[in-house]
Chains A and B, each alone.
Chain A
């Protein structure tokens, strides 16, 4: 299985508010970050927690400016996020930032 993202890629996290277990915390929804590295492949907890077949999926370390998540702070926050929580941040959106 190939990875959709590479280190340095700009990504946007999902805005979805699922009724089930997820490892994307609420404070990091809809946030723009940068892929740091591939951490490995693990079953998607959203599926596995519901007894669904969970295929291995790339998990990335993704770095966010604290201000992007909390509106303040000059430090960085790095989260381990499954590939399906992420989509590419389009160049248009990136230019608007």
Chain B
């Protein structure tokens, strides 16, 4: 079934605006997420298609509320739990 990412051609979303002089990252944590994802893919922890799939598996309401790199962070942590690298408890910090 189609997932929340697949909204091309759908009416009602605001136009994607372009930020003037947009920086590569809007906060340090975004750069860390970017680097961590590249390192995990390079080490073979998961591949790019698994990463995209993990973003698309987000619950729709969470997906729509999340920023670009928040989606990345969600996908990375979900994959690390799926692969047994981290436990859900370690991710949540409980």
Contact = CB atoms under 8 A, between A and B. Distances in A.
Interface of A: 17, 19-21, 25-27, 43, 45, 48-51, 69-70
B2 A49 contact: no
Determine the interface band of chain B, counting residues with CB < 8 A from chain A.
10 to 19
A26 B49 contact: no
B9 A21 contact: no
B6 interface: yes
A27 B7 CA distance: 8
B50 A17 contact: no
A49 B52 contact: yes
Nearest to A46: B49
Interface of B: 1-2, 6, 8-9, 47, 49-50, 52-53, 56
Contacts of A48: 47, 49-50
Nearest to A51: B50
A19 B73 CA distance: 23
Contacts of A26: 2, 6, 8-9
A96 B49 CA distance: 38
Nearest to A47: B49
A13 B49 CA distance: 21
